[in-house]
């Protein structure tokens, strides 16, 4: 068993009471652990001809960009509203309380480009599912998704939109 999981720190009641926040900063600051975690996230996609990794703001950028470098493909950001400078497509999705929105550049990739969606934590699954819908509306061929940590008790996996693989490097 690799020892990178021990460098993910649990912070109780952050950012709100009742949330056990997975703090990845100790993992990121350790070169060997960061590399091992990125390798674990990239491994399922290594033999596929990916055009790009699609990373979700903000911690999905860190793992997504590192995975893109490791897999030898490009990187496309999915961002919070108003952050991307050119024409965007947006997707609204429900949160436990309220709603949120994410955006992608309308011309991010040519139609049919194979991609993998990446984020750090799968909780309720709403963010990852919305990102997959958005990527498909842009014309991307979503081959699957990789997350660093899946919070199994929240069953976010059930919201993943289809049969494409959802890979978690660590189940918590």
Interaction site with ligand AMP (CB under 6 A): 19-22, 56, 59, 119-128, 156
**Residue with smaller CB distance to ligand AMP, 103 or 120:** 120
CA 100/CA 115 separation, integer angstroms: 23
CA 154/CA 158 separation, integer angstroms: 9
Smallest gap from residue 49 Cβ to ligand AMP (A): 27
Smallest gap from residue 93 Cβ to ligand AMP (A): 8
**Residue with smaller CB distance to ligand AMP, 97 or 111:** 97
**Residue with smaller CB distance to ligand AMP, 3 or 13:** 13
Active site residue 6: no
59, 91, 103, 150: the active-site residue: 59
6, 9, 46, 96: the active-site residue: 96
Active site residue 103: no
Q: Is 155 left (phi over 0), alpha (psi -120 to 50) or beta?
A: left
What letter would DSSP give residue 1?
-
Closest CA to 133 of 77, 93, 167: 93
- Phi, psi at 106, each rounded to 5°: -60, -30
Q: Which positions are catalytic?
A: 59, 96
């Amino acid at each position: 068993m690799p020892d990178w999981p021990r460098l993910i720190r649990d912070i109780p009641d952050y950012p709100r009471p009742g949330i056990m926040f997975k703090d990845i900063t100790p993992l990121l600051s350790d070169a060997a652990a960061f590399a091992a975690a990125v390798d674990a996230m990239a491994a399922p996609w290594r033999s596929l001809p990916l055009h790009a990794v699609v990373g979700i703001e903000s911690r999905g950028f860190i793992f997504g960009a590192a995975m893109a470098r490791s897999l030898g493909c490009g990187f496309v950001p999915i961002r919070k509203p108003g952050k991307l400078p050119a024409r965007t497509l947006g997707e609204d999705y429900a949160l436990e309380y309220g709603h949120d929105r994410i955006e992608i550049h309308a011309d991010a990739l040519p139609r049919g480009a194979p991609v993998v969606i990446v984020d750090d934590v799968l909780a309720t699954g709403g963010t990852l599912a919305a990102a997959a819908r958005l990527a498909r509306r842009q014309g991307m061929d979503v081959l699957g998704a990789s997350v660093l940590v899946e919070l199994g008790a929240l069953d976010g996996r059930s919201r993943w939109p289809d049969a494409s693989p959802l890979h978690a490097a660590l189940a918590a």
